[in-house]
Amino acid sequence: DVAGKYLKSLFDLLQFGIWMTEEKDPPFCFNGTSIHVPPTPKSCFTELKLSESRKHARQYGRLGIGVKRPFVFNRFGRPVVYYGFHRNPANDIFFKQCAQELTDKNLLNFFKPMNSTTTLNYDFYSESEWRIVFLEELLKQNLIIDPRNPLNTKEYAYFHTLTPDEQNKLKYLIPLDGWFAMIIYPSLDVINKAQQDKTNNTQTEIDRIKNLPDHGNAVEGGNWPIEVDLDACRNF
């Protein structure tokens, strides 16, 4: 059933982490010179108000996970830098300088246009997006996990339960830690089953995360995440 699929997705997310995926962007052009942004694995977050969650969910899905800002900062993440109009950065001097002078072009994945089309509705800008972008340091510090590496036994086994399309999409996993702060459930039915039906192990996984011996839990005192259903978000 639908509720069961949501609970399976939530359990996988809690147990294995947030997916890092990649997409290929067309090159930027400055004065006839093309600059390519490498297709780099990344995870995207939003800093929208809860009251705006239902609108956001229409495009990105009804199940949400919230983390506190140090979760992103500790993984070298940051808010994206929005530029100009729709993929036309010609008048954005800051973006031009970064595009031309950055040694690591992967960092250009922190830039994004304000509009998804040539219509100036600022729809991308209104998402208040943050990103974690793949860096080798993240792998070295075990802040992200390669699910294709057999040494990562749990994640490797999980990877091989996925469909070929899902395997092609998933590049890395970002395990949750003590900065994990919220679950937005798609409906009352799903939140009730997650909290009351012990067989889906959702609460067990939350308990595991909130007992990890990390800085986030030390600061937060092991506080459990806020749990709320999507329709209730309109009141916040």
Average of per-residue pLDDT across 51-60: 89
Which tokens is 120 given? 């100036």
pTM of the model: 0.94
- Do 64 and 132 contact (CB within 8 A), yes or no? no
Distance CA 82, CA 60 (A): 20
**b (16+ CB within 10 A) / e for 178-200:** bbbbebbbbbeebbebbeeeeeb
Q: Is pLDDT of 116 > 80? A: yes
Average per-residue pLDDT for the chain: 92
pLDDT of residue 3 exceeding 80, the answer is: yes
In this prediction, residue 158 carries a pLDDT of: 98
**Sign of the four-CA dihedral 185, 189, 190, 191:** positive
Read off the amino acid at residue 209: I
| pLDDT recorded at residue 113 | 87
| CA–CA distance, 142 with 3 (Å, rounded to integer) | 32
What's the helix, strand, coil split of the chain in %, to 5?
40, 20, 40
**pLDDT attached to residue 29:** 72
Instruction: Note the pLDDT of residue 1.
Output: 87
Helix (H, G, I), strand (E, B), or coil: what is residue 226? strand
pLDDT band, residue 88 (cuts 50/70/90): low
Whether pLDDT at 154 is above 90: yes
In whole angstroms, what is the distance from residue 97 CA to residue 64 CA?
A: 36
Mean pLDDT across the stretch 10-25? 94
Mean pLDDT of 140-156: 97
Q: How many CA atoms lie within 13 A of 219 on its CB side?
A: 11
Distance of CA 58 to the CA centre of its chain: 17
Kindly report, residue by residue over 162-208, the tens digit of the pLDDT: 999 999 999 999 999 999 999 999 999 999 999 999 898 999 999 99
What's the pLDDT tens digit per position in 127-140? 999 999 999 999 99
Higher per-residue confidence, 86 vs 42: 42
How many residues does this entry show for the chain?
A: 236
3-state secondary structure of 228: strand
For residue 106, name the pLDDT band (cuts at 50, 70, 90).
very high
137-142 long-range CB contacts below 8 Å, 24 or more apart?
137/76, 138/75, 138/76, 138/172, 139/172
pLDDT for 156 equals: 98
First to last CA, the chain: 29
Burial of 46 (0-12, 13-18, 19+ CB in 10 A): middle
Which amino acid belongs to residue 136?
A: E
pLDDT at 236: 80
